[in-house]
Each structure stands twice: as C-alpha cells, then as structure tokens.
Amino acid sequence: MDLDVFVSAHRSEWDRLDALLRRGRRLTGAEADELVALYQRTATHLSLIRSSAPDPQLTGRLSRLVARARATVTGTRRASWRDATRFLTRDFPAAVHRARHWWVPTALLSTAVAVLLGWWIGTHPEVQSAIAAPDELRELTRPGGEYETYYSSHPAASFAAQVWTNNAWAAALCLILGVFLGLPVLWVLFQNMLNLGVGLGLMSSAGRLDTFLGLVLPHGLLELTAVFVAAGTGLRLGWTVIDPGPRTRRTALAEEGRAALGMAIGLALVLFVSGAIEGFVTPSGLPTWARVAIGVAVELAFLAYVFVLGGRAARAGDTGDIEESERSATLPMAA
C-alpha cells in the first residue's frame, strides 16, 4: 500500500471527524450519524495502516482520534453509588461463591495443618525448647504474659489499622502470587498456619488453651476465612495458567484476574471488619463467651452473605467480572 496516496485519499475524512469531535454535544442528528460512520471508517483505516504500512506518527494520530470518537459514541461511564451497591450485593459475593470449590477445601486442609502443628508443638518439649528458652516461654504464656497483652499493647484504633494493613497485604499477596502456578500462595498460607499452630501448641502445653481460643476466635474466624478465600482464589488463578479449559489462556486469565482484583477489594473490607473486632472486641473487658459469640455471629453472617446472597447472584449469571459490554475494546470494522 502506498501510504502517501492513502493519506491523501482519506485525510479529509479524518479532519472532518476531528472537527465533529471538537463540537462535542452541539451536533445535529445528521452530524451524529456522520460521526459514527467516520469513526467506523477511521478505525478500519487504522487497522489497515497497522497491518500494511505501520507509521508511528500516523498510527499515533489515528489511535488518538479513534479513542476520542469511541468515547463520544459509546459515552463515558462514571462510577456511582449504584456500582458500589451492585459490587457489594452481587459481584463480590458471587465471585466468592464461585470460588468455593477452591477456598473451602483450602480452609479445611489449612485448619487441619494448624491443629496438627499445634498438637506436635504442644506434646513435644524439645520442639518448644527449639522455639524459645523455657523462661521466655513461661513469660509468653503466663496469665498477663506477652501473648495475652499483645492485643492490648497499643491503642485500639491504631492496633486495628495495623492489623488490617498486615492482613490485607497477606490476602493481596495470595491473589497476586497465584499467577505463579500457586506455589507462593502455599508458602504464604503455611506461614500463617505455622504462626497459628505455634500459639496453639504453646498455650495448650501451658494449660491455657481456653485463653488462647478466647483471644483468637472473636476476630480469627472471619480473618482466617478471608485469608482462605484469598488463598483459594490465588490457587485457582494458578491452575488457570495450567488448564484454562475451553477458553484461551489469555481470555481465561483476563476473566479470572479481573474477578480476583474485585475480590481483593471486597476482602479488604472483610478484613477491615475483622481488624476492628481484633482492635476493639478481643482486648475488651467483655466475658469470653460474649467475645466468642460476636466472632461466631460475624462469621455466620459472612457465610450467609456468600452462600445465600452470593449463590443467588451466581445462579443469575454474575461472575464477579466486569460487565460484558466493557470486557472488549476491539475496534469496529466498517461493513
């Protein structure tokens, strides 16, 4: 293709499209129809130039022109409270519900690993001595010791913010690292279960298992569920790399990746709730049964949110991905 001849033949159309775009909303009906037709033709011209005679300067100009025209033709979508409501009532719970076949087994297996680690540490003094010296262990597990005062060692608001930041970062790591075949996710998950198992083992060996559960359960049920959801989703993302199913690998990763990004936002909100409980309820003067009851109630509410509200949204076709009309930005071709 002779690029100079092609430019001379179509320059007037591009200039006319540019002039119509500058007029904005002041177009007549006929001019609006003309703008759409010129947009389609210019998009076709851009495709031809890219494939036959790529010229960086001309390609850049036409790309900007087509992008402006597309925004004018399709309109600019602005975020609103309606979007936030849809995300919280449909997109996020549906995405978590769809991932249940990954995160529920992850939760069960991880909990079993934490319990086994706790039993192993609690029943083997030599393992405990490898963790810390006997005097340090006694200081850690005694009534009013370091383990117990950890939850009240800082002002509640700042402690809750610190906990939320750390947990949100761990959840984000699980989601982000999932694309690397899921292996880093297993490491992050194991580290969390190891910390839980160490506390379980040391406190049980000191005869203070009830205190341990009273400190962990109020916030830990919801917090660990969020971590399990993130880890399960990360593992599913890693499996998508290996086996994308009937979709192309690129399409599958795009769809699952967008859903995972939305889940990261939703899980940050869930972890905010668990962080608030850890900062204000766990170290409070409420009786143990009341603190545990709050944790159980919040956990049951989240599970109902996922399996009832999320299940309904998933059956209605919601996947947690963006709307279908926004998934593709392919250029239209003239008839």
Return averaged pLDDT per consecutive 10 residues of the chain, 335 residues in all: 81 88 78 87 86 79 87 65 85 92 95 95 92 87 79 67 74 77 83 91 91 90 93 88 83 81 88 90 89 96 96 88 53 43
Q: What is the 3-state secondary structure (H, E, C) of 44-64?
A: HHHHHHHHHCCCHHHHHHHHH
State which amino acid sits at residue 48.
L
The pLDDT value recorded for residue 84 is: 83
d(CA 86, CA 37): 35
The pLDDT value recorded for residue 116 is: 96
The pLDDT value recorded for residue 113 is: 96
Model pTM?
0.71
Q: Under a CB-based contact definition with an 8 Å cutoff, are residues 236 and 102 in contact?
A: yes
Which two tokens mark 329? 């930005």
- Phi-psi label, residue 236: left if phi above 0, alpha if psi -120 to 50, beta otherwise: alpha
Which two tokens mark 301? 């509410």
Distances (CA, A) of 144 to 76, 141, 156, 283: 58, 8, 18, 12
Domain ranges of the chain: 3-74, 82-324
To the nearest 10 degrees (0 to 180), the angle between helices 183-205 and 156-177 is: 140
**Closest-CA residue to 263 (of 189, 137, 331, 174):** 174
- What's the distance, CA 103 to chain centroid? 13
d(CA 96, CA 102): 10
The pLDDT value recorded for residue 335 is: 39
Kindly report, residue by residue over 189-230, the tens digit of the pLDDT.
898 899 899 999 999 998 989 988 998 999 999 999 999 999
